[in-house]
Structure 1
Amino acid sequence: MGEVRKLQKKLRQIENLEIKITLTPEERFKISRKAELRSRLAQLQLQLSGPQQTLGIVGDGKKEKMKRQVENAPEALPSQMPPASKIHKGEKESKAQATPVPAARQEEAVGEAEIGRQRERTEPAKVSDYCRDTSRRCPDFDKEQQLQQQEAEFTSLKASWEKSKFRLRLLEGHNDIVTCVVAVDNLVVSGSRDTTVKVWHVPTATEQKNLGGHTGGVTCLSAPPPEYCKRLAWSLSLSDKERFILSGSADCNVKIWALSTGQCVKSIYTFNAVTALCFVPEEDGYIITGSDGGKVQAWSWHSFQNCQSVNAHQEAVTSIQSQGPLVFSGSAEGGVSVWENRCSDRDPLMLLHHWSSQVTGLRGGVDGRLTLSPRGDRVFLAYGQAWLKILHWRTGATSRVTNHSDITGVTDCVHQTGGLLISSCYDLANGESTLNLFSLPQCQYLVSLAWPDAPRILCFAAWTTGSGDHRWVTGGHNLTVLEQLPSSGKQRGDVTVRRDSGMDSCLQESEGDTEGDEDTDDYEDDDDDNDEGKDSWSDHAEDGGSRSWLRCVLQ
């Protein structure tokens, strides 16, 4: 088992090396050994899964533990909860059939029944009698009906997704890693480490515009709503149908681009490398940026002046998202802050909560790139682990949803669209990349989508067409569009739709049950006294630490 962990760590370090801009000869040699290490890992896992082993392939022991935790959880998911009244009724019937009643007890029961009938005439109706009243409904009965309806809806949704088909389109043009994507109508806008922002027309899979102007890698994008674009267009004497895109870069600039012309209409110098941004559509509108040093800043959409600068996090801000007047920021060290926009000219952001890595449980992440997606009182967090973390941001309570049936899975991004939660998963052991779909709000696993030679997915965007079909775009080493095909059509899909039975058995866990497993992926390799492991791999241990991906982007 120790060698398995060492191989997993080396593969993780190789994946982090591959997204660096420049590589030394030593690093290239390590990358060339990836296939060899994966083959050796597969052999060891096969040996561990033999009949002499009880835990099976590495990770199965943890999976069975997680399964037991879910089954014993006091608050099971709706689909796991059989109707209480039916169980109660069945138990009574089975007991009545299994145990014959003696004659003396029958006479005694007849007497008690007569006494009971006399009491009914003088005593008020009990709760059980109320439930029998056909003119009224028992709350337990209503709850049972609601659970049955939810389970039926989930079963129907799962069946429809199992039959879904997608066509793939590769958008070729970037010559480096795609770090961010956003969808605007039928357009996809992508930002890359090659310093460019590109605009793509999805129906024809063609590049429309190449927006060059940044001198550093593009790290983040955001699309203001149409009504705020209209205000800016009026001030610039452009068409009121003009759409704008915001791009942030390691060159310390936020640029505002007009999509129709491809021109940069405004550039904001932030004095810090911009690593995350979002647009807050409240009052006159605000641009919120995060920096590589942990600073969160607010900028007026009306005047483009700085309204506020706060040293909010200890490490780089890697994700910022808005939800109404609320702003959520996540950082490389695993902390999450929740802000309220008070719509003022000075200091509009008021800190509501800050949850450190000790609370979120995201300590010592594999690549220090936290991605978040808020929904109501919950925030879904992806942090390079084999699961998704759920933070209840008002209370600090946490839970997690399994996103891979083995510990070699890496989750890089999470996204919501409609009633779906979509997360990426990359298997370090075999190099396979998938998209996992969950139904909301229960976070029940639906299906996984995979396709040949799918690279590690570092960013994701989603939207629906006028007919209600899904279109998604994934970014990383490739920029790929997934277009949902009509279910009634005869055309074959390019995407494989499958179900991972290991994820069915471990849907959601409370954090208290899994606290001991937090740092499963962040083991140390200090006992490696064999091969060149200790010397040649430990020099890049920091690269697999909290800021490796971000450093790659900012170079």
Structure 2
Amino acid sequence: MGEVRKLHKKLRQIENLEIKPFLTQEEREKISRKVELRSRLAELLLQLSAPQQGQGTVGDEKERMKRQVEDSLEVVVSQSPPAKVPRESSDRVPSQRREVAPGYPAESQTGTSEPQEDPKHNCLRASWEGARFRLRLLEGHSDIVTCVVAVDNLVISGSRDTTVKVWHVPTASEQRNLGGHSGGITGLLAPLPEYCRRLAKSLSLNEREQFVLSGSVDCTIKIWALSSGCCVKSIYTFNAISALCFVPDGEGLIVTGSDGGKVEVWSWDTMENCQSIKAHEDSVTSLQSHGPLLFSGSAEGGVSVWEAQCSRAAPLRMLHQWSSAVTGCGRQNGATVSQLTLSPRGDRVFLANGRASLKILNWRTGSVSKVANHSSVAGVTDCVSQTGGVLIGSCFDLATGESTLNLFSLPLCKYLVSLTCPEYPRILCFTGWLTASGCHRWVTGGRALTVWEQLPANGKQRGDVTAKRNSQLEASLEESGTDTEEDSDGKTDSCSASHTTDLSNYPCSKMSDTPLPGR
């Protein structure tokens, strides 16, 4: 298994190198070995799953070998002993205590617990089993798609090729090409209609005008009018932008993250910088708002929580900051890691950081739990999102090159189904919503930009992808202390916060799963 672990590590590093903005010659040479390493890994997994077979049994029957390789991951996992949940000792610090998810009973005096049957979850799971999706490619970008947002029946995509494109989703056609940046696009946002009306009025445009903002490594934020495709405003930030977000509180705030770890705030009314904070030690890779709260995640694995306040001089106030020692999302042995992405809900934040599991951080207490997002350590989780009452995590299999979207019910985070696409490119970004008929419509980006259209349950159309259950992911909620091979190199220290505001009585709005207007 030693060589298998080394190959997993090398393939993970290569996959992460491929999404970097710039590559050295040495890095290009490493990437060129991906096919060779993947073939070697497949061969080793096949030997582990069937050691009695000789060397000559593979090679002649190509299809048979492919099926065996695809099944080998599950076999290896099934041969591993189940992880043991450590009994809580009396000398642990409070922030290391086990957090029991809602709907799961606390352990009895004997140390055992049985998950309660959840009729609502069972009904939701039954409705998802066999669900079919039609996939349509949106072709036009010449490089990796890094971000996507939706506005009514339009999807706006930003790419490393420096362009922003507007797509009409029902017809899967390109509507506009917004060229103007000189560097790769790293963030997109679509302000709420009330903020669009205010900006339209100040620019003497139609009050129904819709706007989208783009951030780039060229140190600029550009504001585009979607009806004309014109750039109506450009803000120079002096720092390469690595993340972009809008906080819909009061006058409205544009928030940018930089590759140097800065979080900066810009007034929606004046477009002037009103706050700049060195918030993280490494690049800010994710910014997400949740009511008056803002969550920032960084490449070193830290997560910060901010509150919008009525102050022009300092519109953001830090509530809490959790280091990588708490989140467990930091670099391991100096290895290249995928960017940390996050999705907040209530007092929890779902984290994806390029590993085989999703992590759940309680931002009030610092307790962390994990949800299995792949059946082995060969999985890479790049993005996590919430739509229509489900949590969706993307997963890419390093060994087979398969992409999967795993669905979990909310709020319990219990596994529902998986949508797997053989030989589909790695999914790096996601947006989703419900159509007027109640069906799901998603758009995923990466090396391919794709619309996922859920087909009606009573329809006769044949779908490209069918939702199926993966038995390996049934017990999706894992104990935060049970390290797997994926994080065995990185030891988690005591869960201590670097900022200790009392948040026990802080109100937190609930997330809405209501379809967006006009969709």
Q: Partner residue of 2:14?
A: 14
CA-based RMSD of the aligned residues comes to: 2.8
Whole-angstrom distance in 1 between the partners of 2:490 and 2:298: 18
Which structure shows the higher helix fraction? Answer: 1
Q: Is the 8 A contact 1:48 1:56 kept in 2?
A: no
Amino acid at match of 1:15: E
Q: Deviations over 1:143-191 (max 9, x none)?
A: x9x965xx12211111111121111110000001000000110000000
Q: Does 1:429 align with 2:422?
A: no
Whole-angstrom distance in 2 between the partners of 1:439 and 1:521: 31
Give the secondary-structure state (helix, strand or coil) at the position aligned to 2:140: coil
State how 1:329-368 maps to structure 2 within 5 Å.
329-364=296-331, 366-368=336-338
Q: Is the 8 A contact 1:334 1:368 kept in 2?
A: no
More displaced stretch, 378-387 vs 7-16: 7-16
Q: Partner residue of 1:447?
A: 417
Q: Partner residue of 1:486?
A: 456
Whole-angstrom distance in 2 between the partners of 1:485 and 1:48: 40
- State which of 390, 396, 400 in structure 1 corresponds to 2:370: 400
Q: Partner residue of 1:497?
A: 467
Q: Does 1:64 align with 2:82?
A: yes
Q: Is the 8 A contact 2:129 2:468 kept in 1?
A: yes
1:350 to 1:500, Cα distance in 2 relative to 1, 3 A = same
Whole-angstrom distance in 1 between the partners of 2:261 and 2:428: 21
Q: Deviations over 1:489-508 (max 9, x none)?
A: 00010113221111113x11
* Count of residues in correspondence between the two structures: 454
State how 1:269-308 maps to structure 2 within 5 Å.
269-308=236-275
Q: Partner residue of 2:35?
A: 35
Q: Partner residue of 1:118?
A: none
Give the secondary-structure state (helix, strand or coil) at the position aligned to 1:46: helix
**Structure 2 runs not aligned, ≥5 long:** 53-72, 88-96, 109-113, 492-519
Give the secondary-structure state (helix, strand or coil) at the position aligned to 1:412: coil
Q: Partner residue of 2:168?
A: 201
Q: Is the 8 A contact 2:134 2:464 kept in 1?
A: yes
Whole-angstrom distance in 2 between the partners of 1:394 and 1:78: 16
Q: Is the 8 A contact 1:421 1:438 kept in 2?
A: yes
1:414 to 1:281, Cα distance in 2 relative to 1, 3 A = same
Q: CA deviation at 1:466?
A: 1.0
Q: Is the 8 A contact 1:60 1:406 kept in 2?
A: no
Q: Deviations over 1:257-291 (max 9, x none)?
A: 11001111111111100111111111111101110
Q: Deviations over 1:314-343 (max 9, x none)?
A: 000000011111111000000001011003
Q: Partner residue of 2:487?
A: 519
Q: Partner residue of 1:4?
A: 4
Percent identity over the alignment? 66
Amino acid at match of 1:390: I
Q: Partner residue of 2:123?
A: 156
1:23 to 1:337, Cα distance in 2 relative to 1, 3 A = closer
State how 1:243-282 maps to structure 2 within 5 Å.
243-282=210-249
Q: Is the 8 A contact 1:196 1:214 kept in 2?
A: yes
Amino acid at match of 2:38: R
State how 1:309-348 maps to structure 2 within 5 Å.
309-348=276-315
Whole-angstrom distance in 1 between the partners of 2:246 and 2:74: 48
Amino acid at match of 1:38: R
State how 1:93-112 maps to structure 2 within 5 Å.
none
Give the secondary-structure state (helix, strand or coil) at the position aligned to 1:498: coil
**Structure 1 runs not aligned, ≥5 long:** 85-143, 524-555
Give the secondary-structure state (helix, strand or coil) at the position aligned to 2:270: coil
Whole-angstrom distance in 2 between the partners of 1:517 and 1:270: 41
Q: Partner residue of 2:443?
A: 473
TM-score by length of 2: 0.82
Q: Deviations over 1:73-114 (max 9, x none)?
A: 9887677769x9xxxxxxxxxxxxxxxxxxxxxxxxxxxxxx
More displaced stretch, 335-344 vs 360-369: 360-369
Q: CA deviation at 1:518?
A: 6.5
1:50 to 1:451, Cα distance in 2 relative to 1, 3 A = closer
Whole-angstrom distance in 1 between the partners of 2:282 and 2:304: 13
Structure number, greater radius of gyration: 1
Q: Deviations over 1:198-238 (max 9, x none)?
A: 00000111100111111110001011001110111111111
Whole-angstrom distance in 1 between the partners of 2:353 and 2:158: 21
Q: Is the 8 A contact 1:385 1:521 kept in 2?
A: no
Give the secondary-structure state (helix, strand or coil) at the position aligned to 1:64: coil
